[in-house]
Amino acid sequence: MQEAGARRWESVDSLTAETRRFVAATEAMMASTAHHVSDGVENLRLKAIIHELPDFLYVKDRDSRFVFANAVTAASLGLNAEEIAGKRDFDLFDFEAARRHFDIEQQIMATGEARIDMEETVVLPGTAKPVCRLTSKIPLRNDRGEVVGLIGVSRDITERKLQEDLHRGQAKLLEMIARNEPLPMILEALVLMIEAQLTGIDGSVLLLDGEGTRLYHGAAPNLPGGYSRLIDGVTIGPKVGSCGTAAWRGQPVIVEDVMSDPLWEDFRGLVAPFGFRSCWSTPIATSENNVLGTFALYSREVRRPTEHEMRLVALATHIAGIAIERKRVDDRIHFMAHHDDLTGLPNRAFLKERLAGILDQARRNNRKVTVAYIDLDNFKDVNDGRGHAAGDEVLKEIATRMANSIRPSDMVVRLGGDEFLVVLVHQSSHDAGITRRLRDLQKAITRPMQGESGEIIITSSIGVAAFPVDGVTSEELLANADRAMYRAKQFGRNTLQHHDGDSSGVGMPRGEQEELHQAITADQLFLEYQPQVDVATGRITGIEALVRWNHPAKGRVPPASFIPIAEETGLIVPLGLWVLNEACRQARNWQDMGLTPVTIAVNVSAKQFADPDFASHVAEALERNRLQSRWLELEVTESVVMQDAERALAMMEQLRALGVRLSIDDFGSGYSSLAALKTFPFDRLKMDRSLVEALPGDKTAVAIASAVISLAQTLKLSVLAEGVETDAQMDFLRQARCEEAQGYRFSKPVPPEEVSRLLQGQLP
């Protein structure tokens, strides 16, 4: 309660005009009855005026007994003007309140100092609701200047206080909205603010779901919890109580009596135990008039709302609308910040936010969590070869496939580019199916996709790490899954690797990309050569150049360990260029030594093939080393030409125009597409080691190898068998009329001096 400082009323300028008038009138009144305060008022006109006043005016004696009170004062206390004389506050108010008033009055009379504009809350006799008053009490003196009592002047400011509370409440709500406080808190404060303005009314907010079909609990701080739960999730419709109907119609629905209104027919039994009789509901809508929810007031009386109540409802729906819309915008922004817009999958930020929580929960429930790092093997080729729009489509399709292959408790995240992460929460402590589920996911990725320029097949490398064995923090798990993924890449495309517990990593973590870059510039790469022989005569007809890396610390590193990384990082282009030049230089060297000229075969990866300058690089390498183009053969795998057929065909035509030979490498390891063989101008088919391996014991292998050989013959391609290790394989190949072979049976890949020796041995 706010109290003005004690002042002598005579000297106070700040008295309100009205107070001054009362005081003046009372003074006049008192002057006429100066000696006998209780003598009553003689001046009837004055008396009439005082009784007409809308404000409270009274005089009390030194004992704080009413001497006189005007009509409103008496009426407010349930008495008439005569009855009140002689009464004390102790006779009228509860003891606490009476004591408070008494103490103040006694202090005023003792000190002779007025108390002006005290704000006080009083509960009047026979009422329940407190009223708010602004009261001034002024000491009353006789003509000798002695304090003989006091004059009280008071005004009911309950309405004004409510208005002020409402304004303050509104400001607070808008501040809460601006501060982005949780929506339930804002809505609850809103309902409480409206309820505080009314008597016997409970409010509620229901929120319409995204589909616009059901209403869910928003806020109802004073409705019985049991009732709120019963209506939570109700489907809106043309006859669904007040709220369900209001949301359905988009119009306010005023039900005076829920017990007789047909709209409540199906809900009467539900509401009856709670004693509500009327319910007035108004839709909360966006500025475009889309319904967001409802605001309802419940009363236990059968009645219509007053105009005042409807004004409050209008205010409430307006504020609720702002709060809900703001929340939706925020949710959208939050969604956008945590999801990737291309695929709609959660992103790295989302993962960061959630993974720690998932691991915490797993720790508490003694569960395992598996994270799988998925990197698409050949996505860059699609992007480079078919354009970004096609690449985007592929990513979207793969994202959908992945999202469809996981359970609701799991999560797929796009980490960026063609990297994804799957988080699988184990349903039990021994969930054995995880690897199978990941393999299924890998298969789903590999299913052919129909692109505009033909079929696209994407493979993936997956690295797996599990909580808690492979790491207990998000960072550890991700790092180990990433490492396992790199290992998977080294094992070749479309493989899955589990973290092997050695976090130093057998493979090549990203930091070592730099090393690979150095390898190219610092001359750490070298070539070995593997002869290709004529099956009928055993003479060397060609040599395949195979790259190796002499790593300063690790020593000799095989191409399978670094070619995939070179492909991923784009380093394959400079690396491939180095191989091409070095192989041509070596071939020139052998010829200069007077050895029988043989074809030099160089492996070319997709990324190199997609480089528009590739043909000119080849031409330059030949020219620089004065090597005739017919001695150079380029080996490409099927996937290289399958990715962007048109572009690949154009590149092949350019290379053929140079006079270079083209072979299809590893045929039979992948899709073994007859179409590829027919469409592209290959000179030679290299049958993959996996087909040769099982020869001649395995009947299926025999059938396939025979078919591939005769297919090559039909298409006028020469055919070479890779990985020939045994005499039995040689015998089969001879019978099947395979023309050439390559493998340990003749020679492992060897240094150039060794090749010179081998070539010398077969001088004519």
What residues make contact with Mg ion under the rule CB under 5 A?
603, 635, 665-666, 722
AA identity, residue 388: H
Picked from ligand C2E, Mg ion, none, the partner binding residue 605 (CB below 5 to 8 A depending on kind) is ligand C2E
- The binding site for ligand C2E (CB under 6 A) comprises 530, 546-547, 558-560, 563, 576, 579, 603-605, 635, 665-666, 689, 722-725, 742-744, 749
Closest distance between ligand C2E and the C-beta of residue 628, in Å? 21
Please identify, using beta-carbon distances, which residue of 290 and 550 lies nearer to ligand C2E.
550
**Residue 565 Cβ vs ligand C2E, minimum distance, rounded to whole Å:** 12
In the bound state with ligand C2E, the residue whose beta carbon lies nearer, of 482 and 665, is: 665
| CB contact at 8 A, 526 and 551 | no
Q: Which is nearer to Mg ion, 479 or 579 (CB)?
A: 579
Q: Kindly tell me which of 253 and 687 has the beta carbon lying closer to Mg ion.
A: 687
Give just the sign of the alpha carbon dihedral 580, 582, 585, 589. negative
**Which does residue 418 bind out of ligand C2E, Mg ion, none, counting CB within 5 to 8 angstroms by kind?**
none
Return the number of the residue (512 or 528) whose C-beta is nearest ligand C2E.
Answer: 528
Q: 3-class secondary structure for 81-128? A: HHHHCCCEHHHHCCHHHHHHHHHHHHHHHHHCCEEEEEEEEECCCCCC
CB of 603 to Mg ion, least distance (A): 4
- Residue 113 partner contact from Mg ion, ligand C2E, none using kind-dependent CB cut-offs of 5 to 8 Å: none
**C-beta of 445: minimal distance to ligand C2E in Å?**
22
Name which of Mg ion, ligand C2E, none residue 743 binds, using a CB cut-off of 5 to 8 Å depending on partner kind. ligand C2E
What are the phi and psi torsion angles at 258 (to 5°)?
Answer: -65, -20
- Closer residue to ligand C2E in complex, CB, 355/563: 563
Place of tokens 């919890």: 225
The 3-class secondary structure across 170-206, one letter per residue, is HHHHHHHHHCCCCHHHHHHHHHHHHHHHCCCEEEEEE
CA distance 40 to 675: 121
Of 418 and 665, CB closest to Mg ion: 665
Nearer CB in complex with Mg ion: 374/692: 692
Q: Is 406 exposed, middle or buried (0-12, 13-18, 19+ CB in 10 A)?
A: middle
From CA 228, how far away is CA 658, in angstroms rounded?
81
* 141-144: Cβ within 8 A, 24+ apart: 141/112, 142/34, 142/35, 143/34
- Single-letter amino acid code for the residue at 557: V
User: Which residue's CB atom is positioned nearest to ligand C2E?
Assistant: 743
Question: What percent of the residues of the chain are helix, what percent strand, and what percent coil, each to the nearest 5?
Answer: 45, 25, 30
From Mg ion, ligand C2E, none, interface partner of 752 (C-beta below 5 to 8 A by class): none
- Cα–Cα dist 236/107, whole Å: 63
What residues contact residue 507 under an 8 Å CB cut-off, 6+ apart? 483, 486, 487, 489, 490, 561
CB of 357 to ligand C2E, least distance (A): 43
Question: From the CB of 530, what's the least distance to ligand C2E, in Å?
Answer: 6
Residue 601 Cβ vs Mg ion, minimum distance, rounded to whole Å: 7
Choose between 410 and 635: whose C-beta lies nearer to ligand C2E. 635
The count of other CB atoms within 10 Å of the CB of residue 140 is: 25
With CB under 5 to 8 Å by kind, the binding choice for 333 among Mg ion, ligand C2E, none is none
At its nearest, how many Å lie between ligand C2E and the CB of residue 604?
Answer: 6
Centre a 10 Å sphere on the Cβ of residue 40 and count the other Cβ atoms it contains. 12
- Which one of ligand C2E, Mg ion, none is in contact with 749 (Cβ closer than 5 to 8 A by kind)? ligand C2E
558 binds, among ligand C2E, Mg ion, none (CB under 5 to 8 A by kind): ligand C2E
Cis geometry, peptide bond prior to residue 696 (ω within 30 degrees of 0): yes
Q: How far is the CB of 438 from ligand C2E (least distance, A)?
A: 26
| From ligand C2E, Mg ion, none, interface partner of 375 (C-beta below 5 to 8 A by class) | none
What minimum distance in Å lies between the beta carbon of 611 and ligand C2E? 12
Closest CA to 563 of 550, 551, 549: 549
Query: Which residue(s) pair with 741 in the sheet?
Result: 533, 721
Distance CA 364, CA 358 (A): 10
Report the residue number, 183 or 540, with the smaller CB distance to ligand C2E: 540
Identity of the residue, 322 or 571, whose beta carbon is nearer to ligand C2E in the bound complex: 571
Closest distance between ligand C2E and the C-beta of residue 653, in Å? 21
Q: Tokens standing for 372?
A: 């799988």
The helix or strand, by DSSP H or E, that contains position 389, with its residue range, turns out to be helix 388-404
Q: How far is the CB of 561 from ligand C2E (least distance, A)?
A: 9
Nearer to ligand C2E by Cβ, of 275 and 558: the residue is 558
Q: Which of 414, 411, 406 is nearest to 433 (CA)?
A: 406
Of 85, 75, 107, 79, nearest to 41 by C-alpha is 85
Shorter beta-carbon distance to ligand C2E: residue 20 or 689: 689
Pick from Mg ion, ligand C2E, none: which does 560 bind, CB < 5 to 8 A by kind? ligand C2E
Q: Min. distance of Cβ 390 from ligand C2E in angstroms?
A: 24
Cβ at position 393, least distance to Mg ion in Å:
31
By a kind-dependent CB cut-off of 5 to 8 A, residue 579 interacts, out of ligand C2E, Mg ion, none, with ligand C2E
User: How many degrees, rounded to 5, is the angle at CA 333 between CA 332 and CA 335?
Assistant: 65
The partner in contact with residue 561, picked from ligand C2E, Mg ion, none with C-beta cut-offs of 5 to 8 angstroms by kind, is none
Q: Which is nearer to Mg ion, 135 or 494 (CB)?
A: 494
Do residues 479 and 471 make contact, with C-beta atoms less than 8 angstroms apart?
A: yes
Helix (H) or strand (E) segment spanning residue 310: helix 307-338
Task: Name the burial class of residue 692, with classes exposed (0-12), middle (13-18) and buried (19+) by CB atoms within 10 angstroms of its CB.
Answer: buried
Non-local CB neighbours of 181 within 8 Å, separated by 6+ positions: none
Q: Which does 322 bind (CB under 5 to 8 A by kind): Mg ion, ligand C2E, none?
A: none
